[in-house]
Amino acid sequence: MNQTDPILWLQLQEQIVACERCPRLRAYCAEIARIKRAAYRDWEYWGKPVPNFGDPNGRLMLVGLAPGAHGSNRTGRMFTGDRSGVFLFRALYETGFASQPEGDRPDDGLRLHDLCITATNHCAPPDNMPNADEIANCSEYLVRTFALMPNLQGVVALGKIGFDSVVRFYLEQGWIETKRGLKFAHGALYTFERAPFILCTYHPSQQNTFTGRLTMEMFLAIFRQAAGMLR
Q: Which residues bind ligand SF4 (CB under 6 A)?
A: 16, 19-22, 25-26, 49, 121-123, 134, 137-138
Q: Could you tell me if 188 and 59 are in contact, meaning their C-beta atoms sit under 8 angstroms apart?
A: no
Least distance in Å: CB of 52 to ligand SF4? Answer: 11
Q: Given the complex with ligand SF4, which of 17 and 230 has the nearer CB atom? A: 17
Q: Given the complex with ligand SF4, which of 130 and 154 has the nearer CB atom? A: 130
Q: Given the complex with ligand SF4, which of 19 and 65 has the nearer CB atom? A: 19
Q: Could you tell me if 122 and 25 are in contact, meaning their C-beta atoms sit under 8 angstroms apart?
A: no
Of 43, 183, 67, 68, the residue nearest 121 (C-alpha)? 67
Least distance in Å: CB of 131 to ligand SF4? Answer: 10
Rounded to whole angstroms, how far apart are CA atoms 198 and 167? Answer: 9
Rounded to whole angstroms, how far apart are CA atoms 70 and 131? Answer: 20
Q: Given the complex with ligand SF4, which of 76 and 154 has the nearer CB atom? A: 76
Q: Given the complex with ligand SF4, which of 94 and 140 has the nearer CB atom? A: 140
Burial class (CB in 10 A: 0-12, 13-18, 19+), 89: buried
Q: Given the complex with ligand SF4, which of 17 and 227 has the nearer CB atom? A: 17
Q: Given the complex with ligand SF4, which of 25 and 156 has the nearer CB atom? A: 25
H or E element, residue 162: helix 160-173
Phi/psi of residue 210, each to 5°? -75, -30
Helix then strand then coil, in percent of the chain rounded to 5, is 40, 10, 50
Contacts of 107 (CB under 8 A, 6+ apart): none
Least distance in Å: CB of 158 to ligand SF4? Answer: 17
Least distance in Å: CB of 108 to ligand SF4? Answer: 24
Least distance in Å: CB of 159 to ligand SF4? Answer: 16
Least distance in Å: CB of 119 to ligand SF4? Answer: 9
Q: Could you tell me if 154 and 197 are in contact, meaning their C-beta atoms sit under 8 angstroms apart?
A: yes
Least distance in Å: CB of 171 to ligand SF4? Answer: 20
Rounded to whole angstroms, how far apart are CA atoms 128 and 65? Answer: 8
